[in-house]
Structure 1
Amino acid sequence: MRVTRPNRAALAAFALVLLTPAVAVAQEPLAAATGSSASWADGWTASAQGVYPIGYSVGQPGPVGPAGPGNTAPLLTAAFPDNQAHNQTVRMIVQPGVEGSRWRVRLTNEFGTRPVTFGRAYAGLQRIGGAVVPGTNRALTFAGRRTVTVPAGRTVLSDPVPVRVTDAQSQHLAVSLFIAGDSGPMTWHAAAFTTSYLSAPNAGDRTADLTDRAFPHSTTSWFFVSEVQVQRRDTATVVAFGDSITDGFFSTINGRDRWPDVLQRRLDEREPAGREVSVVTEAIGGNMVTRIGRTPGGCTPCDGPPAVDRLDRDVLQRPGVRAVILLEGINDLGGGGATADQVIAGYRDIIRRVHARGIKIIGATLTPSAGTAFGLYGTPETDAARRAVNTFIRTSGQFDGVADFAAVTEDPANPGHLLPAYDTNSSVGGAGDHLHPNRAGFIAMGEAVDVSQLLRFALYPAARPAA
């Protein structure tokens, strides 16, 4: 994975963020096991990871910066010439996993260092490109107001907005945000694998536009949006919690073929009438379970908060969560130099906290990385540690279930390596990196999850402990 150097302003902004308190995200009521017309569940999420442009993006348009540690994201210089928004509109395209007619949208300034004012915000159905289906674009309000200022380190959840999504496999929501004035450092999720659209600087409020003529620039990242909730009966949320392999690196841009997407389609085929499961992805490229530092030349800010630190925000505080699938740890071993015991200790902490909330957790075995040229991923020592971690996942009994991703992706003729058919790059072409499975690999992984067990966890949970 080629790495480029972040600019000094972005690093300074991240340093300031490290000094701010943890983001305060209000916890929504968990949906009752029997469901209710007032229940909310997550329909789509993206884990806020840091300040643009620090992070790993894929298929991003724009010039690439000089080589060096800290960032692989090409800069969107035409839209954000100084890495911030100026009196302009972003149209973020997201795809909920379930149908619905009432939604709430969370805007995030978690890693910003100054307040961001959203002068107007709309949500509607994407038509094609950056265009919106006529008659569907609805104004978002926040405590009844159409303008909202989000302080640094905070998020805000919109009031319910009526937009009818009748086919979650084909319809996308277009969330349009007008940033009034200067945004300062922008909170983002680098690797969206979905194309969104940006106006030019100082283009003003174009949130109500139905055409995309005012949105000449594109991005494969998400800015300022971290969650879309749906209100409906008998809907539960499953969180795919992990790193770049869960985030979809080497899947297909706009193809929805990450392993959580494959799993969503399998669940759709098996769900009982009137009950639905929404699979949401809370994953960050480079993310680690532990707080163990990266090897020299690496860049911790690129990787987002470690799983043990973002668990509350990304899992426990999400509404309607019934189960978690955890696939993470290879970056600790291959990028951070952590031991198998340290990763397992992180697992135990996560399992304890998840179980304390009455939520089930499935452990996913770590896929092979032998042959990888960067970090320590390709070494025999890392492979031995990976196998020790996988033995814990399979045999410890600590997890409520196991998704054996290693078994379906490892080459039996070349142990420790990905199957050759899974070791190419679906996103931008060319060879793979021996770490990230491609579309074919993600399909195999999505098929490896026990859907019958997951439906039991999601739709028929045991009684929860008191909050």
Structure 2
Amino acid sequence: MRAGFPRRGVAAAVAALLCVPLVASAAQAHTPPEPAAGAGRHFAVTWAASADRQGAGPAERSYRLVVRTSVGGAALRIRLTNAFGDHPVTFASAYAGLQRQGAELIRGSNRRLTFGGQPSVTVPAGETVLSDPLPGKVAAQSDLVVSLYVTGAQGPTSGHGMAMQTSYAAAGDHAAEEAATSWTDPMTSWYWLDAVSVQTSTAISSVAVLGDSITDGWASSTDRNRRWPDYLSRRLQAATDSPVKGVANAGISGNKVLADGAGEAALRRFDRDVLAQPGVGTVFVFEGINDLKAHTGVTVDDLTTGYRQLADRAHAAGTCVVGATVMAYKGWYEYDVAGETVRQGVNDWIRHSGVFDAVVDFDTITRSPYDRQALLPVFDGGDHLHPNDKGMQAMADAVALAALRCHR
């Protein structure tokens, strides 16, 4: 049993997943309907990992993807993506269960997912698909396992390269199996799956964190869920007075606000990775270091114009927007005075422009008091840019939970 998943929580989650037979209407198409207006419930994203273009993957392969839920709820559904594919891809079978250890599932927890009432679905190039809701409940902070059997894959795949989580692959169709026997190929990326949502009260919402490698968890401990959004998720679950319970991690290592590269630019992927996620009431913007440290001539005006566009689009969608200052990076191999000058100017704008509904000053929290251009050594993951587990927790602890709410 994995740490952080109490025995009673496992038993309750398994019982809930098994409590209702799977029923789906063949007329449901690929996007299941939201609850009726006034029903007091809606879907909220409980996990996400923004996709990018990955290398060609072998056909006729199964993927066992391990993810951690944030908010709990009923009617679990997954989103599968072929956003970066050049050809259609078929998901011949898909299952959702609970992890016991490694690739092994808790007995009796693995249940088939359907798509428009069918056990398989073909997703055209450039598109995504939602599964039908799975009857039953899943608990918050669950180690959820989505198993997919993928056929006909050609060319580039869509997925999340740096998962900081061990998942598994196998040749052939083993998605329905709960044993770990066939799953002999560990991997540290998530393929095809980019979001999971659950149905919960309309009083509950999620926060989507738009970020880069720091949000993605680089330098945090693999398989321990110690990215700073994970620490934030645990704080939100423990807070009895916070209606924000879901956390969607929309970080991509190397991502920039303004330019494509490691993933599409934040400005380009914002709708798919953030605004399209259900139940998002707050957008948390924490990007910019890759724009300013790459010696590309990006100015304060360039970057702050990008932030303003993100904030305007989020506000137009009816969500709150929180901005975070860009952290120190002296000692990183791309550090120079010109980039540092831009960082200071950008942070001054974030703190004082009033564009964001709230500001979290990650820079002040994590920098050294002896050198304000460098990370505090106890938070430094070793490369002078990415915080370690302690730094990640300090970042999450610096977020005033009330800052994740506004009156929009």
Scaled by the length of structure 1, the TM-score of the pair is 0.77
Q: Does the aligned pair in 2 maintain the 1:27–1:319 contact within 8 Å?
A: no
What are the ranges of 5 or more consecutive residues in structure 2 without an aligned counterpart?
A: 1-29
In the TM superposition, residue 276 of structure 1 has moved relative to its aligned partner by 5.2
Q: Does the aligned pair in 2 maintain the 1:197–1:219 contact within 8 Å?
A: yes
1:222 to 2:222 alignment: no
In the TM superposition, residue 386 of structure 1 has moved relative to its aligned partner by 0.4
Q: Does the aligned pair in 1 maintain the 2:32–2:131 contact within 8 Å?
A: no
1:382 to 2:316 alignment: no
For 1:332-347, list aligned pairs within 5 A.
332-335=291-294, 336-347=296-307
* Higher alpha-carbon deviation: 328-337 or 220-229: 328-337
- What amino acid sits opposite 1:94 in the alignment? V
Q: Does the aligned pair in 1 maintain the 2:53–2:156 contact within 8 Å?
A: no
Partner of 1:428: none
Q: Does the aligned pair in 2 maintain the 1:42–1:319 contact within 8 Å?
A: yes
For 1:35-434, list aligned pairs within 5 A.
36-37=40-41, 39-52=42-55, 83-166=56-139, 168-169=140-141, 171-200=142-171, 204-233=172-201, 234-272=203-241, 275=243, 277-291=245-259, 300-301=260-261, 303-335=262-294, 336-373=296-333, 376=334, 378-424=335-381, 432-434=382-384
In the TM superposition, residue 163 of structure 1 has moved relative to its aligned partner by 5.0
Counting strand residues as a fraction of each chain, which structure ranks higher? 2
- What amino acid sits opposite 1:260 in the alignment? P
In the TM superposition, residue 367 of structure 1 has moved relative to its aligned partner by 0.3
In the TM superposition, residue 268 of structure 1 has moved relative to its aligned partner by 1.5
For 1:126, what is the secondary structure of its paired residue?
A: strand
CA distance in 2, matches of 1:101, 1:128: 24
Instruction: Write out per-residue CA displacement over residues 302-326 of structure 1, whole angstroms, 9 at most, x where no aligned residue.
Output: x101011111111222111111111
Identity of aligned residues (%): 43
- What amino acid sits opposite 2:216 in the alignment? D
Q: Does the aligned pair in 1 maintain the 2:206–2:246 contact within 8 Å?
A: yes
Q: Does the aligned pair in 2 maintain the 1:118–1:148 contact within 8 Å?
A: yes
- What amino acid sits opposite 1:193 in the alignment? M
CA distance in 1, matches of 2:52, 2:64: 19
In the TM superposition, residue 27 of structure 1 has moved relative to its aligned partner by 11
For 1:230, what is the secondary structure of its paired residue?
A: strand
Instruction: Write out per-residue CA displacement over residues 111-152 of structure 1, whole angstroms, 9 at most, x where no aligned residue.
Output: 111111111111111111111112211111111111111111
Q: Does the aligned pair in 2 maintain the 1:103–1:231 contact within 8 Å?
A: yes
What are the ranges of 5 or more consecutive residues in structure 1 without an aligned counterpart?
A: 1-24, 53-82, 292-299, 425-431, 463-467
In the TM superposition, residue 259 of structure 1 has moved relative to its aligned partner by 1.2
- What amino acid sits opposite 2:80 in the alignment? L
Which residue among 374, 393, 402 is the counterpart of 1:443?
393
In the TM superposition, residue 85 of structure 1 has moved relative to its aligned partner by 2.2
CA distance in 2, matches of 1:307, 1:30: 31
| Alignment RMSD (CA, Å) | 2.0
- How many residue pairs are counted as aligned between the two chains? 377
